[in-house]
Amino acid sequence: MLLYILELVGIAVFAASGALVGVTKRLDIFGVCVVGVFTALGGGIVRDVLLGIHPPTSLGSWPNLGTSFGMSLLVFFLHSTVGRLRREILVLDALGMGLFASTGAVIALEHGASPLASCLIGGTAAIGGGILRDVLVNEVPLLLQRDFYAVPALLGSALVVVVSEWGSGTDVALVVGTVFASALRVLALWRNWGLPGPRVLE
């Protein structure tokens, strides 16, 4: 139940952030909903494809589709209010990233993936929706920029695997991994941390 609730929260948060990007790109209501839904469900779809789950659970679950679509519509009609909450949206996006990293790793473990594969699948689930969002709005994916985003996702999913392997239980692993990944992302935003880039040649 905790896994299901956390996944729905992550879907809602990612849908809001994706739809807000669609609004800033001045897309119509259909475009905003498409960006919001793909941002919310993209990571889960990629996760299920990697795990051989067909069809992906995100596409066959009305709560997942309804939550992402409803949140996208809400952002479209209330975008003036939501737009003023840019900082809060970034924090929520960090929470969504942490949620998807943790839930992705746990689902991978439950389907028999190795610890290393579970770490990578969890990280991929966390960043997959954001990559689809950026591609849809013709932006360079955040993953390829000097932004501290993928690293917290990978570390969070790795922590989930470590805690689970120690026998602490799935719920504990979910909470620990989510809090760690989300907090590290928020700290990176606050301190303007980023990965080093290449030196500029003379």
- Give one word for 200, left, alpha or beta, with left for phi > 0 and alpha for psi -120 to 50: beta
106 found inside a domain? yes
200 found inside a domain? no
201 found inside a domain? no
> Which pLDDT does position 57 carry in this prediction?
82
Query: What is the four-CA torsion angle of 16, 193, 116, 96, rounded to 10 degrees?
Result: -20
User: Is residue 190 predicted with pLDDT exceeding 90?
Assistant: no
| pTM (predicted TM-score) | 0.85
> Which pLDDT does position 200 carry in this prediction?
66
41 found inside a domain? yes
Give the contacts of 65 (CB within 8 A, at least 6 positions apart).
Answer: 37, 41, 58, 59
Q: In the predicted model, what is the mean pLDDT of residues 139-150? A: 73
199 found inside a domain? no
Highest mean pLDDT among 19-23, 54-58, 79-83, 123-127: 123-127
Domain span holding position 47: 1-191
How many structural domains compose the chain?
Answer: 1
34 found inside a domain? yes
Mean pLDDT over each residue of the chain, to the nearest integer: 87
> Which pLDDT does position 10 carry in this prediction?
83
Least confident stretch, 66-70, 132-136, 180-184: 132-136
